[in-house]
Structure 1
């Protein structure tokens, strides 16, 4: 059956998601339109295609036992010089994200995964581009703020064209799988509140 490359993330809802995606493209990041704006819970992970139902059941069970929590983005940070990334910082919601990512990657589950670096939830806005453009992203988004209530996470698959497409969204409290959602943009069950 072969393998698939999966990822799990929390979508940054509209209008914030599209705004940050447009800014990322404007800084010259060629991956901007291949990756919906998100906070990663499970980084790209290759799994046997036949294990996909087990992964989906695992995610639904985690979502069913999870409660909504506040998310707030504020300001910028960077992983340079270790990694060529500029990101918008998560000022609230880090504990909720950390709990979810630990449960998703649990060694007893279908997607056990060691991380290359310690988990640090964030929203990438520039990756692997010229240093001047990275500096521009860092400076221009320093005043960015957005807040919402996170009520779900989603499973994505990376296609042969390297575009990430949403397979399913899992609602907190019920584990209900929400399919037939747009491949790009925010979650239909997240509630945007403020931005400036």
Structure 2
């Protein structure tokens, strides 16, 4: 027997697939940041490559979401990110991060454009581009990270964004690296 309007069976509901779009950090800066994440945030933080999240969520139509990410990347231009000093989301969320001092506006524009399509969802807090150093570490480690890294500065050029999904092991993995200003599909 078929379903009528207003009725849906479990097989009719599309399953949501996690999706993230991030700015990956180039070497050798990536190595330095990973070491800091290990020191202040522990093994769990170090296993996740340092990155700046542009959008994270889920989609029921991966292909449409990926096409949208391609279109946003194609319209964007390369820009410089300068990380400087530390900040925290405590007491709301136990996170210590490096501030995106230069390039925050470009990150915000990418974030807004990515959410203006099939990845649209409600966000609990305003978008603040940052690079997490310690997450859910003990307070003394987060205090130490915030103090010791408060004068650190590093810069790099962003000329691509990474489209990530969850792999068969349950870990985030890069599906595509998309050049900014590149062709759409």
Does the pair score TM above 0.5? yes
Equivalent residue in structure 2 for 1:122, among 127, 130, 143:
130
**Which 5+ residue runs of structure 1 have no aligned equivalent?**
178-196
Instruction: Please tell me the root mean square deviation across aligned C-alpha atoms, in Å.
Output: 1.8
Instruction: Please give the alpha-carbon distance, in whole angstroms, between the structure 2 residues aligned to 1:88 and 1:62.
Output: 25
**Which 5+ residue runs of structure 2 have no aligned equivalent?**
1-13
Q: Is 1:5 the counterpart of 2:15 in the alignment?
A: no
Give 1:172's aligned residue: 180
Instruction: Please give the alpha-carbon distance, in whole angstroms, between the structure 1 residues aligned to 2:164 and 2:31.
Output: 17
The TM-score, its normalising length taken from structure 1, stands at: 0.81
Q: Residue 53 of structure 1 aligns to a residue in which SS? A: helix
Larger radius of gyration: 2
Residue by residue over 1:57-98, the C-alpha shift from the partner in whole angstroms, topping out at 9 and shown as x without a partner, is 111111111111111001111111121110001110011000
Residue by residue over 1:123-160, the C-alpha shift from the partner in whole angstroms, topping out at 9 and shown as x without a partner, is 00001110001011112222221111211111111346
Give 1:27's aligned residue: 40
Give 1:155's aligned residue: 163
Equivalent residue in structure 1 for 2:87, among 77, 85, 103:
77
Q: Is 1:99 the counterpart of 2:109 in the alignment?
A: yes
Instruction: Please give the alpha-carbon distance, in whole angstroms, between the structure 2 residues aligned to 1:146 and 1:158.
Output: 29
Give 1:46's aligned residue: 58
Q: Give the structure with the larger helix fraction.
A: 2
Give 2:11's aligned residue: none
Give 1:134's aligned residue: 142
Give 2:10's aligned residue: none
Contact 2:45–2:135 (8 Å) recurs in 1: no
Question: Offset of 1:46 from its aligned partner?
Answer: 2.3
Q: Residue 55 of structure 1 aligns to a residue in which SS? A: helix
Give 1:89's aligned residue: 99
Residue by residue over 1:145-191, the C-alpha shift from the partner in whole angstroms, topping out at 9 and shown as x without a partner, is 111121111111134645321110111111468xxxxxxxxxxxxxx
1:174-193 correspondence to structure 2 within 5 Å: 174-175=182-183
